[in-house]
């Protein structure tokens, strides 16, 4: 009850402060229910917006309360300096200067549809794909100087520049525009949630809410290092009798179990990292520019720098390159169309490596039951780059279409169709197969009656046939609908579904490998 009182007092204070200058300030908020880690929480959110000239500051004051009145602690954890820093950062919904098309622009907070250049490396990246389970505060910025255009982004300040991209572009002789980009994920393991901050991700931490323990070999709830754990491997044979056992007063130790099987130490992201780098070069030329029409051509080259796993030998091998010798970009009135011819000369590459689903694919856990341990699974952390070895030499095409259907509906579709060598897990050899991707979205551009907003989207990448709808970790689908209730109140229904391949079999099946995020909220603004 005390926490609830404190929360109520804080909400009143925020409302009072936000209303003092109602000519420029506004208060937005919402209340309802949201799913976090498979559990339903009641949500109370306030987002005061404070404009200062071209700068807009929006805070994200959110409380999640369960049916017993318990508060979700991740957003309000000030137990350590690091957690205090992260909790404060989480309160920033965005800080923005200008608009994306302005010569100088930056935004701190949620990032959506981040693309560098023509998208050979970073294409449609989002740091909000796991929100609200995972809250990230990143930055995107661009400016002009010395006759050049500069662009940069980072995914999350709490990661201390985990995923970062920088680009510079400018004019060249012959009417060309050239650009160079670099992207770095200094530690892909940072994509794994670590609730207790002990460096061991929750997926491999047997005690995710206790930073003193992380191993429980037999799954009996007692840590391996706990003094009262006398049978670590759960085989029914006492491991050691010593002075920690009540009544044992001899100055000796007796080992009864001579074959104690222990789980290996889990990954510690504070001590181990796995990075991936990339560089790209591109050149473009405008062929036609009219009021409602333009045509341009471009070419791109990119190289991923790092290691992946060779599926034949099981050893590490270098990442590969991607080449787009010809690309066409056109705009005719309400329609925008792109076409690219794509080549992977050595394989071990993925076009648009940092895409919308990257934060899901970045690092995953593959569990295996050894049969030796009675109570727990063991496994390994698998990063996205480690799986690129399954792609051999490939070539094909990619196209996108964005179309405004009058003033009411906007649609977008993307399709990739590559053909070449792909690793077949069942036969353990490279075979000739398709590598296809399909992305689509449909949304309202303006309200219809009481429907204020509506959007549906679907993504399936790098599969033999995306229209078979065999889900993978690259699959994302969801929708959002807003319904006007009156008096500035809007009922929002938000749903998103993604997947994790926990057992490492290359497929996603069942509820344990399905991530559903559902939010029903009533938003308001005054």
Closest CA to 228 of 216, 264, 377, 260: 216
Q: Is the pLDDT assigned to residue 226 strictly greater than 90?
A: no
- Looking at the chain, the whole-number percentage of residues with pLDDT higher than 90 is 44
pLDDT band at residue 525 under the 50/70/90 scheme: low
pLDDT at 3: 44
The set of residues, in sequence order, having a beta carbon less than 8 Å from that of 1 and lying 6+ positions away, is 69
Mean pLDDT of 3-23: 41
Quick one: CA dihedral 100, 453, 486, 497, positive or negative?
negative
For residues 368 and 277, what is the distance between their CA atoms, to the nearest angstrom?
A: 30
Q: pLDDT for 432-483, tens place per residue? A: 999 999 999 999 988 888 899 999 999 999 999 998 888 888 899 999 999 9
**pTM of the predicted protein model:** 0.85
Q: Is the pLDDT assigned to residue 19 strictly greater than 50?
A: no
Distances (CA, A) of 476 to 180, 470, 496: 30, 12, 7
For residues 465 and 475, what is the distance between their CA atoms, to the nearest angstrom?
A: 12
* Mean predicted lDDT score pLDDT of the chain: 85
pLDDT at 247: 59
pLDDT band at residue 13 under the 50/70/90 scheme: very low
For residues 86 and 1, what is the distance between their CA atoms, to the nearest angstrom?
A: 26
What is the four-CA torsion angle of 89, 93, 97, 98, rounded to 10 degrees?
Answer: 160
Distances (CA, A) of 78 to 55, 232, 426: 29, 34, 49
pLDDT at 40: 84
pLDDT band at residue 34 under the 50/70/90 scheme: confident
pLDDT at 135: 84
pLDDT at 381: 83
pLDDT at 372: 46
Mean pLDDT of 479-500: 88
Domain range 98-192+270-525, CATH class: mainly beta
Residue 2 contacts residue 10 (beta carbons within 8 Å): no
Q: Is the pLDDT assigned to residue 347 strictly greater than 80?
A: yes
Please list, residue by residue across 229-242, b when 16 or more beta carbons sit within 10 angstroms of its beta carbon and e when fewer do.
bbbbbbbeeebbbe
For residues 194 and 201, what is the distance between their CA atoms, to the nearest angstrom?
A: 4
Mean pLDDT of 132-142: 89
Mean pLDDT of 219-226: 87
pLDDT at 431: 96
Mean pLDDT of 284-293: 90
Please list, residue by residue across 467-482, b when 16 or more beta carbons sit within 10 angstroms of its beta carbon and e when fewer do.
eeeebbbbbbbbbbbb
For residues 92 and 105, what is the distance between their CA atoms, to the nearest angstrom?
A: 18
Q: pLDDT for 373-422, tens place per residue? A: 544 556 678 899 999 999 999 999 999 999 998 888 999 999 999 999 99
For residues 201 and 219, what is the distance between their CA atoms, to the nearest angstrom?
A: 17
Residue 476 contacts residue 496 (beta carbons within 8 Å): yes
Q: Is the pLDDT assigned to residue 306 strictly greater than 90?
A: yes
Mean pLDDT of 13-39: 59
Mean pLDDT of 485-494: 84
Ranking 16-25, 142-151, 182-191, 364-373 by mean pLDDT, the lowest is: 16-25
pLDDT at 377: 53
Q: Is the pLDDT assigned to residue 18 strictly greater than 50?
A: no
For residues 123 and 119, what is the distance between their CA atoms, to the nearest angstrom?
A: 5
Instruction: Give the range with max mean pLDDT: 76-90, 296-310, 442-456.
Output: 296-310
More confident position, 138 or 11: 138
Closest CA to 358 of 498, 263, 228, 252: 498
pLDDT at 11: 44
Distances (CA, A) of 447 to 65, 102, 444, 521: 32, 27, 7, 18
Q: pLDDT for 160-180, tens place per residue? A: 889 999 999 999 999 999 999
Ranking 3-12, 29-38, 356-365, 464-473 by mean pLDDT, the lowest is: 3-12
CATH 2.40.160 residue spans of the chain: 98-192+270-525
More confident position, 512 or 420: 420
More confident position, 241 or 283: 283
pLDDT band at residue 8 under the 50/70/90 scheme: very low
pLDDT at 505: 66
pLDDT at 346: 95
């Amino acid at each position: 009850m005390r926490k609830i009182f404190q929360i109520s007092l804080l909400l009143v204070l925020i409302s009072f402060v936000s209303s003092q200058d109602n000519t420029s300030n506004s208060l937005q908020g919402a209340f309802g229910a949201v799913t976090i880690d498979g559990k339903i929480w009641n949500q109370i959110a306030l987002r005061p917006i404070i404009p200062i000239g071209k700068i807009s500051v929006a805070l994200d004051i959110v409380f999640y309360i369960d049916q017993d009145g318990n508060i979700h602690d991740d957003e309000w954890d000030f137990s350590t300096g690091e957690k205090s820093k992260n909790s404060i950062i989480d309160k920033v919904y965005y800080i923005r200067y200008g608009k994306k098309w302005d010569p100088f622009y930056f935004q701190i907070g949620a990032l959506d549809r981040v693309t560098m250049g023509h998208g050979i490396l970073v294409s449609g990246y989002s740091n909000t794909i796991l929100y609200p389970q995972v809250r990230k505060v990143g930055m995107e910025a661009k400016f002009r100087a010395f006759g050049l255009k500069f662009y940069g982004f980072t995914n999350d300040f709490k990661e201390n520049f985990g995923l970062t991209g920088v680009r510079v572009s400018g004019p060249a002789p012959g009417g060309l525009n050239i650009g160079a980009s670099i992207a770095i994920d200094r530690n892909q393991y940072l994509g794994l949630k670590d609730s207790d901050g002990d460096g061991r991700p929750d997926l491999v931490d047997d005690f995710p809410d206790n930073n003193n323990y992380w191993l429980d070999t037999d799954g009996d709830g007692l840590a391996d290092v706990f003094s009262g754990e006398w049978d670590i491997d759960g085989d029914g044979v006492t491991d050691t009798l010593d002075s920690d056992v009540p009544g044992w007063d001899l100055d000796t130790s007796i080992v009864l179990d001579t074959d104690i099987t222990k789980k290996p130490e889990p990954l510690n992201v504070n001590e181990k990292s796995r990075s991936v780098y990339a560089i790209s070069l591109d050149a473009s030329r405008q062929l036609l520019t009219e009021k409602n029409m333009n045509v341009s051509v471009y070419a791109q080259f990119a190289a991923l720098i790092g290691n992946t796993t060779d599926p034949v030998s099981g050893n590490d091998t270098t990442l590969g390159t991607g080449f787009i010798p010809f690309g066409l970009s056109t705009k005719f009135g309400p329609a925008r169309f792109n076409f690219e011819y794509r080549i992977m000369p050595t394989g071990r590459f993925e076009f648009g490596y940092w895409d919308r689903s990257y934060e899901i694919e970045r690092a995953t856990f593959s569990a295996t039951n050894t049969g030796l341990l009675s109570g727990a699974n063991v496994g390994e952390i698998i990063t996205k780059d480690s799986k690129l070895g399954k792609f051999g030499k490939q070539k094909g095409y990619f196209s996108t279409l964005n179309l405004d259907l009058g003033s009411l509906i906007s649609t977008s579709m993307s399709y990739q169709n590559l053909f070449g060598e792909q690793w077949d897990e069942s036969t353990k050899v490279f075979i000739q197969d398709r590598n296809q991707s399909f992305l689509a979205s449909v949304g309202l551009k303006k309200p219809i009656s009481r429907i204020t907003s509506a959007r549906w989207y679907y993504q399936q990448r790098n599969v033999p046939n995306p229209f078979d709808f065999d889900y993978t970790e690259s699959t994302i689908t969801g929708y959002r609908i807003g319904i006007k209730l009156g008096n500035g109140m809007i009922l929002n229904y938000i749903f998103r579904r993604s997947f994790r391949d926990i057992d490492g079999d290359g497929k996603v099946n069942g509820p344990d490998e399905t991530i559903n995020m559902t939010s029903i909220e009533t938003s308001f603004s005054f």
